[in-house]
A and B are shown apart, each in its own frame.
Chain A
Amino acid sequence: MEYEKILNYERDWEEIKQAIMPEDMSDEDKEALMSNLIVYSIITNT
């Protein structure tokens, strides 16, 4: 399975961000939360 081919930052980041974030959040907050979400998905000691 070529897992690295499933998500592409340029293609998917914005779309996924908009799909999963609460609608009433500002764009800036959505971006910060998305960034933290991705990092914390792998890094435990934050």
Chain B
Amino acid sequence: MFEKLSKAEAEKTVKERTELFLDVVRKRKKPDRVPLVSNDGLWKLIDQDIKFSEGLHDYDTLHEAVCKYQEMYGFDAHADYCVLNKVAFQESFGKPRFIITDEPPTLSITDTFSMKDEDYPALAEKGIVKFIFEDMLCRHYEYESKEEAVEHLKKAVQELIRYNEYCGRIYGTMVEEYGVPNLCAGGYQMPFEFFVSGLRGLKNTSLDLRRHKEEMIEAMEAIDERLWGEFMSYAPYIENDGTFVFDTYTCPMAYTLLSPKQFEKFYWPWMKKYFDFVAEHDQTAFIYAEGAIKNKLEFLQDLEDKRFGILLEQDDPVEIREKLPNFTLMGGYPTTLLGEGTVEQCVDKAKEMMETVNYDGNWIFSFDKLASFEGGVKRENLLAVLDYLRSVKL
């Protein structure tokens, strides 16, 4: 068990952990051991027999679940504290997008996308906030009057405040009571992501890539005024006080639609801008690469060494280590083996990865796919792998 720490112990431990990570990412020296990061989504709840319908609506339950999870497994950092899906917040608008089942425990997103083809000029002209306020909000949620909109916005803002409070609380608890640094201090999102995660959806975005090329670019410039503006309000001033690993992160997901040519036109200009910023300010950043990034590696290969990390979902970690030596690899340990294998098979895989991906100490352990379902990970397997990795002195 990895119990709560005293204030002094937590301060010491969080700094030790941050230094361990920075030894790896900055390639300062071979780290003493492999840093361990959890990437298990909502499996934290399943592991503790907490129903999704309960946990995802009760921040006290979530907070306790994350703490108990840390006490059980003793990770050095977590990719998520169950903050990815703002379930209660989304429901307060009156048209829920999440479908939650408890038997089996699943969380799915069902979405309708209310932006039409002909809306592109309005988005480019108005900017994302005004466009959503005037053109999307009432249309999407079918509010038939201003009063109805205000009634829901009032509930929604309370839920957003509660969500923000939970985020602040859990980040603080992890640092101050468990000595666990946050994975990053902030993030930047590529404007292309907005098309898939709210405005047009996968299908319409795919069609727009050929039917509305230039309009998409103009719309992204407008969206980026907000995204980059927000990022610039704090990112240049980030100073690592020993409570977080990477300065910032980006989570590309929609890029998985794109061929390399399309990526070059619709995604890379903004991503490069972000990477250039990171390099100019001597910061560190990590990419949480959902899906597979293999066909876009050429774009990343010339980025500066000793500052970027990448968490893989579908790509082969051995191949990525070879092709992206300038990146610190995070992840790649197969979640399915943790769910279906024996203890011996799981530990053997960890030993194998120590040879195939951690030969130079430039690996941070984490899983590949999120384990947010029943049977996704067997507790004894995960404990065995973590115990083994902690025991290996590099």
Contact = CB atoms under 8 A, between A and B. Distances in A.
> Do A and B assemble together?
yes
Interface of A: 1, 3-4, 6-9, 12-13, 16, 19-22, 33-46
25 contacts: A1-B142, A1-B144, A4-B134, A4-B139, A6-B146, A6-B149, A7-B133, A16-B146, A20-B153, A20-B154, A33-B157, A33-B161, A39-B129, A39-B132, A41-B136, A41-B140, A41-B141, A41-B156, A42-B137, A42-B198, A43-B194, A44-B97, A44-B111, A45-B193, A45-B198
B173 interface: no
Contact of B150 (A4, A19, A34, A43): A19
Interface in B125-181: 126, 128-130, 132-146, 149-150, 153-154, 156-157, 160-161
A1 B144 CA distance: 8
B133 A38 contact: yes
A21 B156 CA distance: 11
Given A12-B146, A40-B89, A3 B139 contact: yes
Interface of A (DSSP majority class): helix
B133 A40 contact: no
Contacts of B109: 44
B2 to A, nearest CB: 31
Size range of the chain B interface in the assembly:
35 or more
Of the listed residues A33, A35, A41, A43, the one surrounded by the most CB atoms of chain B closer than 10 A to its CB is A41
Contacts of A40: 86, 89, 160
B150 A33 contact: no
Contacts, number: 100
A3 B115 CA distance: 12
Of the listed residues B97, B197, B199, the one surrounded by the most CB atoms of chain A closer than 10 A to its CB is B197
B138 A45 contact: no
A37 B150 contact: no
Contacts of A37: 153, 156-157, 160
Contacts of B111: 44
B129 A6 contact: no
B133 A13 contact: yes
A29 B222 CA distance: 23
B153 A16 contact: yes
Kindly list the 4 A-B residue pairs having the minimum CB-CB distance in the complex, ordered from nearest. A45-B197, A43-B198, A3-B139, A3-B138
Contacts of A4: 134-135, 138-139
Contacts of B358: none
